[in-house]
Amino acid sequence: MNERTEDDIPQEDIPQDDLERAGAAVDRLLELARRRIWVHTRCRLLMALPDTRLGDAMARVARRTRHSDLRLLVDDDRELKSGLPRLAGTVMRLPSAISVRCLAPAQDTPASLLLVVDREAWLYLVQHKGRVGLRTESRDPPGNRKAAEDFEQNWSAGSASRELRKLSL
């Protein structure tokens, strides 16, 4: 039997209210950010979320403190650049503040988004076979620590972004 992968599922098959709820949860956690924002996601999932203010939150944190830790780990930096030009513009405008790496996920893994904010908050969003699953915690230091460890492991396996890098002349 031939089963569809998550990339074969049109965005229309995912209930819009699930995506709106997930986007609102992402924005709520981003508003809490004071020093650290780490995001690991597939670009298609990030583009499917309505009007998230990730770029604005990263810019705000970068301006707030020079000790900010802003990281973006994506599957395809070209898709990010073409699909989310405002976020890509923020990243390219603040290359010393925002680090971007690429990690190609395995073919059979669902589209997911892991958001780690400061030392207490985290969010995990998964989209698979037309469904959206969401878990978010705003005051969970042990869960945040585990999410940060998972992020760090993937971050170290990733490679530097070629599309969103600062070019020296």
Burial class, 86, CB count within 10 angstroms (exposed 0-12 / middle 13-18 / buried 19+): exposed
pLDDT tens-digit series, residues 38-55: 999 999 999 999 889 999
What pLDDT does 157 receive? 94
CA pair distance 74, 54, nearest whole angstrom: 13
What pLDDT does 8 receive? 42
Domain residue spans of the chain: 15-160
pLDDT tens-digit series, residues 106-127: 877 889 999 999 999 999 999 8
- For domain 15-160, say whether CATH 3.30.870.10 is its number: yes
Cα 155 to the center of its chain, rounded Å? 12
CA pair distance 127, 109, nearest whole angstrom: 10
Q: What is the pLDDT along the chain (169 residues), one digit of tens a residue?
A: 444 344 444 444 556 788 899 999 999 999 999 999 999 999 999 999 988 999 999 999 999 998 999 999 999 999 999 999 999 999 999 988 999 999 988 877 889 999 999 999 999 999 888 788 999 999 999 999 999 999 999 999 999 998 887 544 4
What pLDDT does 34 receive? 97
